Amino acid sequence: MAANPLIDKVLEYLSHTETVDTLQLATEWEEDHQRIVGAVKSIQSSGDIIEVEQRSEVRTELTLEGREFVSKGSHEAILFAAVPSGGEGILLPDLMKITGPNGKIGMSKAMQAGWIKSVKEGNSNRVVRLKESIEDKVQETLRNVAAGTTELDKATMAEYKKRKLLVQNTVVFMVLRKARGFTTVIEKPETDLTPEMIASGDWKTKNFKAYNFDALGTPIPAGHLHPLMKVRSEFRSVLFEMGFSEMPTNRFVESSFWNFDALFVPQKHPARDAQDTFFVSQPSTCNSIPEDYMNRVKAAHEGGSYGSSGYGSNWKKEEALKNVMRTHTTAVSARMLYEIGQKKEFVPTKLFSIDRVFRNETLDATHLAEFHQVEGVVADKGINLGHLIGIMKEFFSRLGIKKLRFKPAYNPYTEPSMEVFAYHEGLKKWVEVGNSGMFRPEMLLPMGLPEDVRVIAWGLSLERPTMIRYGYDNIRDLVGPKVDLGMVYKSPICRLDKQLCGHSFGCSCNIQKDEKSDASTEEEEASLMSAKAQVRNSDKAKTRLQVIANHLALQNNKHSEKSEEKQQENMDNANPLTSHILDTSRGRPAAGVLVKLFKRGADGNWVFITEQSTNNDGRIGNLISGAQFTPAIYKLNFDTKSYFTSKGEKTFYPFIDVIFEIEKPEEHYHVPILLNAYGFSTYRGS
């Protein structure tokens, strides 16, 4: 006997008849239709026993209320019966009491049918019959529907459906017939051919289960790479193809020495502030730094060696020993270059790394406190800025980015430094894709590298191209607790359009167009991308500080400096706009710089508001009062002439203008300036 008694029952029934359908069986046996369908399906899977034809039928069935109408009559008929015959009738409230909750609808239907009328009487109404007897058509029709003896016309069907007296369901059922191999006794078919069957010859008589070639395979429980790791593996292969070797990056906790000092980052640099860097409390310091190297680094910082004036400040070992979560992978590059410098003979080297870094950032839709950096380093004799530009062009073109622009920038460890911009074909604008430069001799010489060795390097984030590639507006959809794990399984593999289509990061020629985007043409794709970018920008930019200054973009600089000095705090609180100038060539605050604040009037002219000189800490505050600080375009003019003259600089830029737009003046804005005689930059974070 089969495991399911219904199987035997169906086969038994079919053995006496030509054909039967499953609905018929369900009614006859008072059995759930789905269970019968289940039994039929198992018979089907046991071989060529029955023929099954699937059919569907729209069935009209009475609702609970419809069935009540059949037994008790329609609401209107019940109401009519409650109205006494003769002209006297009944007062409406009394009638409602008798007929209960369905009285109201009965009343309106009976009036519509012209069976009764309602006449005003004092404060109430009297309901009187207009006919002596009525015919309850609704009840009768529903009775016929239930018995299956009537077909309703469209209008009646619609009306009854609206009154929720009946519903129409599509029922799928099966018509069964005997097949060639019909039997009432099912022998469980074999699913596997075993060595025993072959040895005994049993296989000749056994019944085997047919292969189901439509069955889906069991998903292989393999791991899935996160999109970030997919993009990482693409970047790795590009760099391997270019002959780079990978650096060991297994050191999330790093000493300030390797993260900053070895890179000639002055100990007073704002990026070393707890504001921007995570300091490790346990263990708070590192054990050892190569002693003589450390002394050479100290000398480089303090000045007078390597033909450099250094920062002229006191370099403190305690500061260098402090452990931090590494803020960039350039710390790894520094370790590697030091190792190369220690070797007897210099060998030209190309290195890269892709790993995680940590920054104490204000979190928003595009920034997290940890992210990944892609970094490349090339060390050789006789290489120069031209090689850096060439390598950048080659590297980015292998990622599908052809149009590049370079903009002077500032890094404490590179000179010259360049931000790299790429033209984004999707967004139709230039976007920043990386930072680069030539490592300074103050960094390389203490490492023991020969004087004529030049090192070019660059870095970029892994998250940015990944977000563009996979179309994410919010980094939290990609990293963190809110990530949908299904996304990790479903994301297509990453292709960076390497040489394939000539488009850039955002290009959606292949994978993205097929699987991620709804856009069908390139123009549509472009507008989709720009719409996404707008979302991203509006998310991020509560305030748009727009620098129209000569060559640097000041980013959203809502900066809540945690100052140790009480005085500073008061200054900030009392004043929504503050500034801080750091002289990067000296690693010290720039004191005594005259700063003028202007506001742009309706006529487009600059209206002078106030002026102030930076204090010994390089700061200014109390520039403008809250009441005066209204949404407008402002200009800060930094007169650095007397400052540089006092430092004995012969050539310098005497003025800096930073122009920005304030949209939300109720917040506190901080305009930090990094300055040297040859230029300046504003910074955010690092």
| Residues near ligand PHE, by CB under 6 A | 328, 330, 375, 411, 414, 435-437, 457-459, 686
Question: What's the closest the beta carbon of residue 528 comes to ligand PHE, in angstroms?
Answer: 29
- Beta-carbon contacts of 56 under 8 Å, excluding residues fewer than 6 positions away, are 170, 171, 172, 173
Question: What's the closest the beta carbon of residue 433 comes to ligand PHE, in angstroms?
Answer: 12
Q: Check residue 128 and give left, alpha or beta (phi > 0: left; psi -120 to 50: alpha).
A: beta
Q: Nearer to ligand PHE by C-beta: 297 or 392?
A: 392
Distance of CA 14 to CAs 45, 177, 188, 448, Å? 17, 7, 19, 94
Q: What is the DSSP string of 266-302?
A: -TT-GGGSTTTSPBP-TT-B-S---HHHHHHHHHHHH
Question: What's the closest the beta carbon of residue 375 comes to ligand PHE, in angstroms?
Answer: 6
Q: Nearer to ligand PHE by C-beta: 330 or 504?
A: 330
With vertex at residue 657, the alpha carbon angle to CA 655 and CA 662, rounded to the nearest 5 degrees, is: 160
225: Cα separation from own chain's centroid? 16
Question: What's the closest the beta carbon of residue 329 comes to ligand PHE, in angstroms?
Answer: 7
Q: Nearer to ligand PHE by C-beta: 47 or 459?
A: 459
Q: Nearer to ligand PHE by C-beta: 75 or 372?
A: 372
Q: Which of 107, 78, 75, 102 is nearest to 91 (CA)?
A: 107
298: Cα separation from own chain's centroid? 44
Q: Nearer to ligand PHE by C-beta: 312 or 408?
A: 408
Q: How many CA atoms lie within 13 A of 622 on its CB side?
A: 9
Question: What's the closest the beta carbon of residue 265 comes to ligand PHE, in angstroms?
Answer: 10
* C-alpha to C-alpha distance for 354 and 333, rounded to whole angstroms: 11
Q: Is 16 annotated as a binding residue?
A: no
* C-alpha to C-alpha distance for 620 and 281, rounded to whole angstroms: 32
Q: Are 11 and 143 in contact (CB under 8 A)?
A: no
Q: Which of 670, 472, 452 is nearest to 555 (CA)?
A: 670
Q: Nearer to ligand PHE by C-beta: 190 or 273?
A: 273
Q: Nearer to ligand PHE by C-beta: 94 or 276?
A: 276
Q: What is the DSSP string of 30-71?
A: T--HHHHHHHHHHHHHTSSSEEEEEEEEEEEEE-HHHHHHHH
Distance of CA 253 to CAs 338, 352, 536, Å? 18, 19, 31
Q: Is 683 annotated as a binding residue?
A: yes
**Strand, coil or helix: what is 413?**
coil
Q: Is 619 annotated as a binding residue?
A: yes
Q: Nearer to ligand PHE by C-beta: 267 or 330?
A: 330
Residue 169 phi, psi (nearest 5): -120, 145
Distance of CA 116 to CAs 69, 98, 104, 137, 166, Å? 20, 16, 13, 16, 26
Q: Check residue 618 and give left, alpha or beta (phi > 0: left; psi -120 to 50: alpha).
A: left
Question: What's the closest the beta carbon of residue 680 comes to ligand PHE, in angstroms?
Answer: 18
3-state secondary structure 180-223: CCCCCCCCCCECCCCHHHHHHCHHHCCCECCCCCCCCCCCCCCC
Q: Are 267 and 261 in contact (CB under 8 A)?
A: yes
Q: Using the structure block, give the residue that is written with the tokens 């403008």.
A: 624
Q: Nearer to ligand PHE by C-beta: 37 or 324?
A: 324
With vertex at residue 464, the alpha carbon angle to CA 462 and CA 470, rounded to the nearest 5 degrees, is: 100
Q: Nearer to ligand PHE by C-beta: 328 or 619?
A: 328
Q: Nearer to ligand PHE by C-beta: 312 or 685?
A: 685
Residue 352 phi, psi (nearest 5): -145, 165
* C-alpha to C-alpha distance for 77 and 75, rounded to whole angstroms: 6
Q: Which residue minimizes CB distance to ligand PHE?
A: 459
Question: What's the closest the beta carbon of residue 373 comes to ligand PHE, in angstroms?
Answer: 6
**Strand, coil or helix: what is 342?**
helix
* C-alpha to C-alpha distance for 251 and 326, rounded to whole angstroms: 8
Q: Nearer to ligand PHE by C-beta: 411 or 575?
A: 411
Q: How many CA atoms lie within 13 A of 42 on its CB side?
A: 18
Residue positions forming the annotated binding site:
580, 619, 683
Residue positions forming the annotated binding site for substrate:
580, 619, 683
